């Protein structure tokens, strides 16, 4: 007799449980980096122009006060008094909110992804990158102090002799000199300019990556330009409190 072949059985498929999936965080890291690059570019151009304007203090009180008054009457009568100035402030405020918000999200996500692991052997060249959150925080505090000191004249941050601008005149020179003649405030400005240099150097360098700059030679040129730009801005602003303390301005 022939052997009976058992019927072929096909096992029923096992029920599968889908793996948990999480969508990409919104906004994406790319969007955050582009936001920081664009707003960082705005700030870099602003601090350069602001520094050039500050250097007018070396031309004397008359010219410096005239420049400060011109900023308030810019684009009149097309815009009302201080209209252009408030427009610039609004743009800077929006950029500041976007820049700080994007940087906080990037830092938080990076720390969550890293966990408890700490990167070692970074070297001094990575110091500006490591200090970016801290230099940024110092600059944020400086913005508030600077506004209270030389824009709104709010005491006790501002000097006791602060003179508010009028529609026909400005005493920006006297306010600046009287403020920086206080050595704690002058020292604060000097320290902040050092922080600004570190922040600008690394921030401008990362623009090369965010804007997709490639090529070793091009990136080396970009790094040099970042160093020169940050150094020029920091030294230009740094010279003013030193000049006031030394009696060269005042």
Q: What is the pLDDT at residue 105?
A: 93
- Cis previous bond, 27, omega within 30: yes
Cα 177 to Cα 159: distance, rounded to the nearest angstrom: 10
Token couple for 29 = 């890291």
DSSP helix/strand/coil, 184? helix
Long-range contacts of 36-39 (CB under 8 A, 24+ apart): 36/99, 36/102, 36/103, 36/106, 36/206, 36/210, 37/206, 37/207, 37/210, 37/211, 39/95, 39/96, 39/98, 39/99, 39/102
E-assigned strand segments in 100-237: none
Q: What is the pLDDT at residue 214?
A: 80
29-114+125-246, which class in CATH?
mainly alpha
CB 242 within 8 A of CB 208: no
CB 181 within 8 A of CB 244: yes
| CB contact set of 22 (below 8 Å; sequence gap of 6+) | none
CA distances from 74 to 7, 77, 80, 83 (A): 94, 9, 9, 8
The full set of domain ranges for the chain reads 29-114+125-246
CA 140 to chain CA centroid, nearest Å: 8
> Which residue is associated with the tokens 């992804």?
113
- pLDDT (tens place) for every residue of the chain, 250 residues total: 555 555 656 555 555 555 555 566 778 988 999 999 999 999 999 999 999 999 999 999 999 999 999 999 999 999 999 999 999 999 999 999 999 999 999 888 888 877 665 655 555 566 777 888 899 999 999 999 999 999 999 999 999 999 999 999 999 999 999 999 999 999 999 999 999 999 999 999 888 887 877 888 888 899 999 999 999 999 999 999 999 999 999 8
């Amino acid at each position: 007799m022939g052997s009976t072949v058992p019927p072929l059985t096909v096992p029923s498929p096992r029920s599968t449980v889908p793996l948990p999936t999480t969508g990409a965080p919104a906004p994406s890291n790319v969007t955050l980096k582009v936001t920081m690059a664009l707003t960082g570019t705005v700030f870099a151009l602003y601090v350069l122009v602001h520094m050039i304007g500050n250097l007018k203090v070396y031309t004397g009180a008359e010219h410096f006060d005239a420049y400060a008054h011109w900023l308030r009457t810019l684009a009149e009568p097309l815009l009302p008094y201080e209209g252009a100035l408030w427009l610039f402030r609004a743009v800077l405020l929006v950029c500041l909110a976007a820049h700080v918000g994007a940087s906080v999200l990037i830092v938080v996500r990076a720390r969550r992804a890293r966990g408890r692991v700490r990167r070692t052997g970074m070297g001094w060249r990575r110091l500006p990158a490591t200090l970016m959150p801290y230099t940024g925080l110092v600059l944020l505090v400086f913005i508030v102090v600077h506004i209270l000191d030389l824009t709104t004249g709010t005491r006790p941050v501002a000097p006791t002799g602060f003179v508010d601008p009028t529609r026909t005149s400005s005493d920006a020179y006297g306010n600046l000199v009287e403020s920086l003649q206080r050595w704690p405030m002058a020292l604060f400005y000097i320290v902040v300019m050092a922080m600004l240099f570190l922040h600008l150097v690394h921030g401008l360098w990362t623009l090369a990556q965010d804007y997709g700059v490639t090529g070793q030679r091009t990136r080396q040129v970009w790094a040099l330009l970042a160093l020169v730009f940050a150094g020029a801005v920091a030294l230009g602003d740094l010279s003013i409190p030193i000049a006031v303390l030394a009696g060269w301005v005042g």
